[in-house]
């Protein structure tokens, strides 16, 4: 079969444009607060230890506007036992849905309001808490409490405005421990922590641009100092569509550098699914003409030695066969790197019918050694299948197999229509797998436990004052004042950027020097767990102004500060004076160096060796007083002069 | 009724009228804070008058300060109708016939825009649509008696309910389920235990602690447990069927006179006090925990006695209580007082003279304990003996709320205080027990190692 797309590395912006690729992002970022969003549990305490477990089930309910939500129904089909592991330290009765919510955490709300203004959102007059249904059990209430603080914002990426649809403030969900068969286990420590959700418009046109936008969004929120960092503190979802395709949401992208390949694979998948649809349509198979039969074939396969089915038969499970009329070749059609269409079906069966033991199905197009061909022939006869048809075997308990058969037909029929609305899951190999049917706006309804809350102009103004300037403005400014390119982003996104700017602009410290001390060295000391709080802004100012007067401090400074940080009783101001004697005047430097040369040239004749020797002796005296370059320059001049006289 | 501005008051209402839009208009709105697009929703009447509620395309609601509005343009208009998929309930002659009586409350509820709250409004028919499993257990007929919040239940509703139960039993039902708000469910359970005597079938009260509009609701499972009990169990008493643990595991059947709501929000809020529950119930079976309950019969001989005296009060004693509390009840013509006393059943000395006055005025005064667990015992201390001399009658181990409804019922039947006393102290429906089992009182103390071990391994 011909390649679906060029290899990832060879794809150009034009290639993506020709496919009509559009991408948008949803970034979930935990806020740095002391407590959770709707209760008074501590935020940010993680532990896999647990003290108790509780068991729940989720039922679909009605939304405000009257319809059952698609996701809701699907999740109910799965009939999962959901177990929550509870640690007394991190969870109270609120998270377990046994106590109504407390008032929204004002610290978290302030953070969201501040960040939203930094990203130019239009701020709402009043927040309304909504319930967003999640029937996977990831939140024990069955819904996430969430609210919108602003709509229609923008950021600037490479000179272009990227529109932002909304900024939500919501509670975080549980972490999944395992999901096997009908049993799903969650740990609840992260549950209820405040996070903001930033949603961009689908205006990112290459995978690289999407990754860049994700980075920018991450740096912007970090520049406020109001967000958490570290593993799991920021998670991104990526939406992808191509011309003729469907907006697909890929959830849980753990790292931004994964984004380009993930998008590439999704573009390939949509491209492939459209091709599959065209093939089926050309065979006359459409939504209305789709045909599929199914039969119990347990008795036909119960002698097989192929392990997955042999084991199923041993467990007393049922084996059913589905005949997809006219689907020959479709199940083995490639969809993503290393994956075929049958994987789309297997995923659905795994999630919806709870058949989690893999492989959970076998197709007549499998190229591996599975059941014998004479068994296949018997099945074909029973199903009345010919060479145009494709067969799928699926096994499990009777109830699960019934759900599986229905779901296989649903997914196969969808292939003749196009690309189904799904939420998909990012996988480690940058491909993606089915997670759930894409939920719609119908799953939102008002939270009746909490009243609306007015967002006053005073509050907004107070918070806006705390905002740093937008990153893109800093980028421009830093480039202009000569901050080294590789440091620009990390400084601009730091809460210390303000102080950095003050030092550079009002004290006239060279940007590189300020960057080295305030960022590189500081990071190093932080790693060494030194008590950096001792280095107050005032001390930094003193240090920088001293260094401007005493250039030697640029070399000795790190040593000096480290000494100050590690010695409890150290007096910084005194240290500055004692550690660095008054600068040597250049007029004094010259006679001193001359004296050294005179005493050494008697012993060493080789010019290079002499120079090295003299430099060594000189630096013993001058280190920390005079810059090495300056000593070297004087020494060179003297040596050159002497060499001249000898000739 | 004009619902075009549902819940809105001026100034927000004025702004809507001015711009010729109304509730359910899909609008584009220009404000000083920017452009917004969405559908105008009704406003809760308890929210402020300044904001307009907009539902955005993404499903979120936001509020817009009406002062900031510059222009509103109506794009279209589409009223939302809250609809529940209604299914015709299948009938099966082999399944028991159950009567579901509706009273309002959380088990039958829906969202209301005007108050922004959950109000009782599901018709029983809609209930089937949301809990189809009910058909696996029974044939169901329903009757909505009234729709009141739990806390608004009173004698009028109790009497109507008792009569409806009598009618249903006479009509041949195999079991009765009563949907009820949880706040005063135990009051209703107690009074029904007295008003309905010798029922041949189970009378099962059920509610929910998490409203049925949410996926984690306990409503569906509680209802399933209740119809399972009403159809299958041989317990012909008034029982409360609610969650045992907070987990979705099993329900407990509590005797109507021994049950009490013990937590303001937990699912497992109902507990049998001073005894053990009658049985456990799950989707499949009913597992009795004791055998001394009244058994199901085939006859229809039920006695309904709806006598009720409203001039009865319950007084929760506190240190430094003054006699005027009791005096004001006497002066207002109260005929009965139930005291929830401290310890074994005590009140302080200053109250004595008011009690003496009550005795003279022929007010029936009964003592219960605010510890909830344990018996009144007024001989142990001098105080108790003195109180008895003042005509205070020990109410054994009747729960205060149970003694209250029973005294209403007794005084409704007779003015003769001796007869009242006989009714009060004769156990009718397990409200007074002869012995408290050793495992009746169990409040485990969190944090203790063995309790933590229990939580980790057994309790879910």
| CA distance linking residue A58 with residue A134, whole number of Å | 9
pLDDT at A330 over 90: yes
- Nearest CA-CA distance, residue B262 and chain A, Å: 13
- Nearest CA-CA distance, residue B266 and chain A, Å: 5
Residue of chain A with shortest Cα separation from B30: A122
- Model pLDDT, residue B25: 92
- Nearest CA-CA distance, residue B165 and chain A, Å: 31
Q: What is the pLDDT of residues A501-533, one digit of tens each?
A: 999 999 999 998 999 999 989 989 999 999 888
Q: What is the pLDDT of residues A85-123, one digit of tens each?
A: 999 999 999 999 999 999 999 999 999 999 999 999 999
The string over A333-355, giving b where at least 16 C-beta atoms fall within 10 Å of a residue's C-beta and e elsewhere, is: bbbbbebbbbbbbbbbbbbbbbb
- SS (HEC) of chain B: CCCCCCCCCCCHHHHHHHCCCCCCEEEEEEECCEEEEEEECCCCCCCCCCEEEEECCCCCEEEEEHHHEEEEEEEEECCCCCCCCCCCCCCCCCCCEEEEEECCCCCCCEEECCCCEEECCCCHHHHHHHCHHHHHCCEEEEEECCCCCHHHCCHHHHHHHHHHHHHHHHCCCCEEEEECCCCCHHHHHHHHHHHEECCCCCEEEECCCCCCCCCCCCHHHHHHHHHHHHHHCCECCEEEEEECCCCCCCEEEEECCCEEECCCCCCCCEEECCCCCCEEECCCCEEECCCCCCECCCCCCCEECCCCCCCEEEEECCCCCCCHHHHHHHHCCCCEEEEEEECCCECCHHHHHHHHHHHHHCCEEEEEECCCCCCCCCCCCHHHHHHHHCCEEECCCCCHHHHHHHHHHHHHHCCCHHHHHHHHHCCCCCCCCCCCCCCCCCCCCCCCHHHHHHHHHCCC
pLDDT at A30 over 50: yes
- Model pLDDT, residue A555: 82
- Whether chain B has a CB inside 8 Å of the CB on A399: the answer is no
Which is catalytic among the residues B95, B99, B103, B106?
A: B106
Q: What is the pLDDT of residues A285-324, one digit of tens each?
A: 999 999 999 999 999 999 999 999 999 999 999 999 999 9
pLDDT at B7 over 60: yes
Which is catalytic among the residues B39, B261, B275, B406?
A: B261
Q: Which of A225, A340, A124, A395 has its CA nearest to residue B36?
A: A124
Q: What is the pLDDT of residues A407-445, one digit of tens each?
A: 999 999 999 999 998 899 999 999 999 987 765 555 777
The string over B359-394, giving b where at least 16 C-beta atoms fall within 10 Å of a residue's C-beta and e elsewhere, is: beeebbbbbbbeebebbbbbeeeebbeebeebbbbb
Across B316-320, average pLDDT: 96
B442 against A203, higher pLDDT: A203
- Model pLDDT, residue A145: 96
What's the residue count for chain B? 460
pLDDT band at B125 (very low <50, low <70, confident <90, very high): low
pLDDT band at B456 (very low <50, low <70, confident <90, very high): confident
pLDDT at A272 over 70: yes
A227 against B442, higher pLDDT: A227
Q: Considering chain B, what is the average pLDDT of its residues?
A: 90
pLDDT band at A404 (very low <50, low <70, confident <90, very high): very high
Partner-chain residue, chosen from A125, A132, A135, that has the shortest CB–CB distance to B51: A125
Instruction: Find residues 420-479 of chain A whose CB sits inside 8 Å of chain B.
Output: 440-446, 448, 451-452, 454
Residues β-bridged to residue A55: A83
pLDDT at A237 over 70: yes
pLDDT band at A581 (very low <50, low <70, confident <90, very high): low
Q: Above pLDDT 70, what percent of chain A?
A: 93
At A432, which helix (H) or strand (E)? strand A432-437
- Nearest CA-CA distance, residue A475 and chain B, Å: 27
Contact A261, A430 (CB under 8 A): yes
Contact B120, B108 (CB under 8 A): yes
Q: Where are the domains of chain A?
A: 8-280, 291-415, 468-578, 586-643
- Model pLDDT, residue B114: 36
Please list, in sequence order, all residues whose beta carbon lies within 8 angstroms of the beta carbon of residue B317, skipping any fewer than 6 positions away.
B339, B340, B341, B342, B346, B347, B348, B351, B370
- Whether chain B has a CB inside 8 Å of the CB on A123: the answer is yes
pLDDT band at B115 (very low <50, low <70, confident <90, very high): very low
pLDDT at A210 over 50: yes
- Interface confidence, given as ipTM, is 0.87
pLDDT band at A75 (very low <50, low <70, confident <90, very high): low
Contact (CB<8Å) A124/B63: yes
A337 against B87, higher pLDDT: A337
Instruction: Please tell me whether residue A166 adopts helix, strand or coil conformation.
Output: strand
Helix, strand, coil percent values for chain A (each to nearest 5): 45, 20, 35
pLDDT at A3 over 60: yes
The string over A280-319, giving b where at least 16 C-beta atoms fall within 10 Å of a residue's C-beta and e elsewhere, is: beebebeeeebebebbebbebbeebebebbeebbeeebbb
A59 against A645, higher pLDDT: A59
Contact B287, B281 (CB under 8 A): yes
Across B119-148, average pLDDT: 75
Partner-chain residue, chosen from A62, A100, A165, that has the shortest CB–CB distance to B213: A62
pLDDT band at A381 (very low <50, low <70, confident <90, very high): very high
pLDDT band at B1 (very low <50, low <70, confident <90, very high): very low
- Whether chain B has a CB inside 8 Å of the CB on A210: the answer is no
pTM, to two decimals: 0.85
Which is catalytic among the residues B174, B183, B218, B275?
A: B183
- Model pLDDT, residue A615: 87
- Model pLDDT, residue A646: 44
| CA distance linking residue B411 with residue A167, whole number of Å | 63
- The phi-psi region of residue B7 (left if phi > 0; otherwise alpha if psi is between -120 and 50; otherwise beta) is left
Please list, in sequence order, all residues whose beta carbon lies within 8 angstroms of the beta carbon of residue A106, skipping any fewer than 6 positions away.
none
Q: What is the pLDDT of residues B153-169, one digit of tens each?
A: 999 999 999 999 999 99
Q: Which of B47, B61, B63 to mutate against chain A (most A CBs within 10 Å)?
A: B61
How many other β-carbons are positioned within 10 Å of the β-carbon of residue A614? 23
- B71 is a catalytic site residue: no
pLDDT band at B121 (very low <50, low <70, confident <90, very high): very low
CA B376 to chain centre: 26
- Model pLDDT, residue B254: 98
pLDDT at A231 over 90: no
Q: What is the pLDDT of residues A453-483, one digit of tens each?
A: 999 999 999 999 999 999 999 999 999 988 8
Domain A291-415: what homologous superfamily?
GAD-like domain (3.30.1360.30)
- Model pLDDT, residue A77: 59
- Model pLDDT, residue B370: 97
Partner-chain residue, chosen from B47, B59, B247, that has the shortest CB–CB distance to A54: B247
- B6 is a catalytic site residue: no
pLDDT at A189 over 60: yes
How many other β-carbons are positioned within 10 Å of the β-carbon of residue A598? 11
Contact (CB<8Å) B83/A54: no
């Amino acid at each position: 079969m011909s390649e679906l797309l060029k290899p990832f590395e060879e794809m150009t912006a034009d290639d993506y444009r020709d496919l009509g690729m559009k991408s948008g992002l949803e970034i979930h970022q935990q806020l740095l607060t002391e407590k959770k969003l709707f209760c008074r549990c501590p935020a940010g305490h993680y532990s896999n230890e647990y003290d108790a477990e509780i068991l729940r089930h989720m039922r679909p309910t009605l939304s405000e506007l009257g319809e059952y939500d698609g996701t809701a129904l699907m999740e109910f089909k799965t009939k999962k036992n959901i177990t929550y592991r509870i640690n007394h330290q991190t969870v109270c009765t609120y998270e377990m849905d046994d106590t109504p919510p407390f008032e929204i955490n004002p610290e978290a709300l302030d953070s969201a309001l501040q960040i939203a203004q930094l990203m130019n959102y239009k701020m709402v007059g009043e927040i309304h808490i909504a319930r967003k249904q999640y029937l996977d059990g990831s939140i024990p209430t069955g819904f996430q409490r969430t609210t919108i603080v602003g709509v229609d914002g923008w950021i600037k990426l490479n000179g272009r405005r990227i529109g932002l649809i909304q900024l939500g403030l919501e509670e975080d969900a549980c972490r999944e421990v395992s999901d096997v068969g009908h049993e799903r286990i969650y740990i609840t420590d992260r549950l209820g922590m405040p996070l903001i959700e930033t949603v961009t418009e689908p205006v990112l046109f290459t995978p690289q641009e999407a990754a860049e936008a994700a980075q920018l969004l991450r740096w912007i929120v970090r520049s406020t100092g109001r967000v958490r960092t570290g593993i799991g503190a920021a998670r991104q979802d990526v939406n992808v569509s191509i011309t003729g395709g469907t907006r697909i949401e890929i959830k849980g992208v753990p790292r931004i550098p994964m984004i380009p390949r993930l998008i590439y694979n999704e573009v390939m998948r949509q491209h492939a699914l459209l091709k599959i649809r065209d093939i089926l349509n050309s065979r006359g198979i459409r939504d209305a003409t789709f045909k599929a039969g199914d039969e119990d074939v347990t008795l036909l396969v119960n002698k097989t030695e192929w392990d997955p089915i042999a084991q199923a038969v041993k467990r007393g499970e049922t084996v059913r066969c589905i005949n997809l009329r006219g689907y020959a070749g479709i199940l083995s059609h490639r969809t993503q790197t290393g994956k075929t269409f049958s994987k789309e079906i297997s995923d659905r069966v795994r999630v919806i019918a709870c058949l989690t033991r893999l492989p959970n199905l076998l197709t007549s197009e499998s190229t591996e050694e599975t059941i014998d061909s004479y068994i296949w022939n018997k099945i074909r006869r029973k199903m009345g299948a010919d060479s145009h048809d494709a067969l799928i075997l699926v096994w499990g308990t009777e109830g699960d197999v019934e759900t599986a058969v229905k779901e296989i037909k649903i997914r196969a029929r969808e292939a003749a229509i196009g690309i189904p609305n799904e939420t998909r899951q990012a996988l480690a190999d940058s491909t993606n797998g089915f997670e759930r049917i894409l939920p719609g706006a119908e799953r939102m309804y008002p939270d009746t436990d909490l009243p609306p809350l007015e967002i006053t102009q005073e509050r907004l103004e107070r918070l806006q004052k705390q905002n740093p300037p937008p990153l893109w403005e800093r980028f421009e400014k830093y480039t202009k004042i000569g901050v080294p390119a590789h440091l620009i982003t990390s400084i601009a996104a730091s809460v210390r950027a303000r102080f950095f700017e003050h030092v550079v602009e009002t004290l006239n410290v060279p940007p590189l020097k300020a960057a080295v001390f305030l960022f590189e060295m500081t990071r190093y000391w932080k790693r060494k767990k030194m008590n950096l709080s001792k280095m107050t802004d005032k001390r930094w100012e003193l240090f920088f102004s001293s260094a401007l007067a005493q250039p030697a401090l640029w070399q000795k400074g790190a040593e000096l500060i480290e000494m100050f940080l590690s010695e409890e009783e150290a007096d910084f101001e005194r240290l500055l004076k004692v550690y660095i004697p008054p600068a040597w005047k250049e007029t004094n430097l010259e006679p001193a160096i001359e004296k050294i040369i005179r005493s050494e040239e008697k012993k060493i004749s080789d010019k290079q060796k002499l120079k090295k020797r003299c430099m060594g002796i000189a630096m013993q005296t001058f280190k920390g007083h005079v810059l090495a370059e300056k000593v070297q320059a004087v020494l060179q001049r003297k040596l050159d002069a002497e060499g001249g006289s000898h000739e | 009724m004009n619902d075009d501005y549902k819940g809105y008051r001026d100034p927000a209402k004025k702004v809507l009228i001015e711009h010729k839009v109304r509730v359910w208009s899909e609008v584009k709105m220009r404000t000083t804070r920017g452009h917004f697009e969405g559908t105008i929703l009704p406003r809760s009447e308890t929210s402020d008058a300044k904001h307009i509620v907009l539902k955005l395309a993404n499903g979120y609601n936001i509020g817009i300060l009406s002062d900031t509005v510059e222009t509103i343009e109506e794009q279209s208009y589409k009223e939302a109708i809250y609809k529940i998929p209604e299914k015709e309930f299948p009938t099966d002659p082999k399944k028991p016939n159950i009567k579901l009586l509706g009273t309002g409350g959380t088990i039958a509820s829906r969202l209301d825009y005007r108050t922004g709250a959950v109000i009782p409004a599901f018709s029983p028919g809609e209930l089937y649509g949301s809990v189809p499993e009910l058909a696996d257990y029974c044939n169901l007929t329903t009757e909505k008696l009234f729709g009141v919040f739990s806390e608004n239940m009173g004698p009028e509703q109790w009497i109507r309910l008792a009569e409806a139960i009598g009618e249903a039993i006479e009509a041949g039902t195999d079991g009765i389920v009563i949907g009820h708000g949880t706040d005063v469910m135990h009051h209703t359970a107690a009074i029904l235990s007295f008003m309905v005597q010798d029922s041949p079938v189970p009378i099962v009260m059920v509610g929910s602690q998490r409203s049925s509009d949410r996926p984690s609701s306990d409503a569906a499972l509680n209802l399933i447990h209740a119809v399972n009990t009403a159809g299958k169990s041989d317990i012909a008493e008034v029982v409360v069927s609610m969650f045992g643990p907070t987990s979705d595991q099993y329900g407990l059947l509590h005797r109507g006179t021994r049950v009490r709501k013990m937590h303001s929000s937990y699912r497992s809020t109902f507990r049998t006090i001073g005894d053990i529950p009658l049985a456990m119930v799950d989707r499949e079976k009913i597992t009795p925990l004791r055998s001394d309950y009244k058994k199901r019969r085939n006859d229809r001989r039920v006695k309904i006695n709806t006598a009720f005296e409203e001039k009865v009060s319950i007084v929760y004693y506190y240190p430094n209580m003054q006699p005027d509390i009791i005096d004001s009840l006497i002066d207002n013509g109260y005929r009965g007082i139930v005291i929830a006393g401290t310890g074994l059943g005590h009140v302080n000395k200053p109250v004595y003279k008011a009690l003496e006055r009550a005795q003279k005025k022929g007010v029936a005064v009964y003592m219960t304990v605010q510890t909830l667990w344990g018996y009144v015992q007024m001989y142990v201390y001098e105080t108790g003996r003195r109180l008895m001399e003042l005509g205070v009658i020990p109410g054994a181990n009747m729960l205060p709320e149970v003694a209250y409804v029973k005294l209403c019922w007794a005084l409704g039947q007779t003015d003769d205080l001796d007869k009242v006393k006989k009714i009060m102290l004769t156990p009718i429906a397990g409200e007074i027990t002869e012995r408290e089992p050793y495992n009746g009182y169990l409040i485990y103390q969190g944090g203790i190692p063995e309790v933590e071990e229990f939580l980790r391994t057994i309790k879910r």
